[in-house]
Amino acid sequence: MSLLLEEYPTLVYDAVPPSVSDPEDLRLLRKWEVAIGYRIFAALHWGQMGDGHITARDPILTDYFWMLGYGIPFHQATIDNLTLIGPDGQGVDGPLDAGINTAGYCIHQPLLAARPEIVSAAHTHTGYGTPWSANVSPFQAINQESCAFVFDQSLFEGEMLEVLSTEGGAAIAAVMGDTKLCILRNHGLLTTGFSPGEAVGWFAMAERVAEVHVKATDARPISDDAAKEVAATLAGPTVGWRMFQWLARDLVPDPSVVL
pLDDT tens for each residue of 12-61: 999 999 999 999 999 999 999 999 999 999 999 999 999 999 999 999 99
68, β-bridge pairs: 82
* 129, 207 Cβ separation under 8 angstroms: yes
Q: What is the DSSP letter of 139?
A: -
- For residue 139, which of 148, 230, 236 has the smallest C-alpha distance? 148
Helix, strand, coil in percent for the chain, rounding step 5: 40, 15, 45
State residue 3's pLDDT score.
Answer: 84
For residue 119, pLDDT over 70 is answered with: yes
- Length of the chain counted residue by residue: 259
- For residue 108, which of 94, 95, 98, 122 has the smallest C-alpha distance? 122
CA dist., res. 154 & res. 122, Å (int): 15
- For residue 198, which of 56, 20, 53 has the smallest C-alpha distance? 56
Side chain identity, residue 10: T
Number of other residues whose CB lies within 10 A of the CB of residue 173: 24
CA dist., res. 224 & res. 168, Å (int): 33
For domain 23-258, the CATH architecture is 3-Layer(aba) Sandwich (3.40)
Sheet of 188-193: strand order equals 91-93, 82-85, 65-68, 52-57, 120-124, 188-193, 181-184, 153-156
Average pLDDT (156-168) is 95
Whole-angstrom CA distances from 42 to 39, 145, 215 are: 5, 22, 23
For residue 1, pLDDT over 50 is answered with: no
Mean pLDDT, the chain, integer:
97
137, β-bridge pairs: none
| pLDDT band of 2, cuts 50, 70, 90 | low
* 191, 199 Cβ separation under 8 angstroms: yes
